[in-house]
Amino acid sequence: MTRLRATEEDADALAAAVGPLLEALGAAPGFRGGEFGRSADDPTLWALVTRWDGVGAYRRGLSAAAVKIAGAPVWVHALDEPGVYVDE
């Protein structure tokens, strides 16, 4: 899970950039899916939630060149906090 913060002026650009990122992630082995949404309580706070076969698949997926390129306009809004959680 990645939480993102975008000003009102940046919100449309952020939302538009997530589609290409999810498309690039979709090509990665082990990617199960993802959702993107805006907080109901804080309109500047967003969340990108992705599901993977495991931590290794997640790390390999994020290291792909296409993901780095597509993700750049999204990650610039990411909050500096833990983003990987394991379902036990």
pLDDT at position 87 is 75
Top CATH class of 2-75 equals alpha beta
| Domain ranges, ordered by start, for the chain | 2-75
Is residue 34 within 8 A of residue 22, CB to CB? The reply is: yes
Cα 31–chain centre separation: 12
**Sequence-ordered alpha helix ranges (H) in the chain:** 11-26, 55-63, 65-75
pLDDT at position 15 is 97
pLDDT at position 58 is 94
Extract the residue ranges of the chain whose pLDDT is less than 70.
none
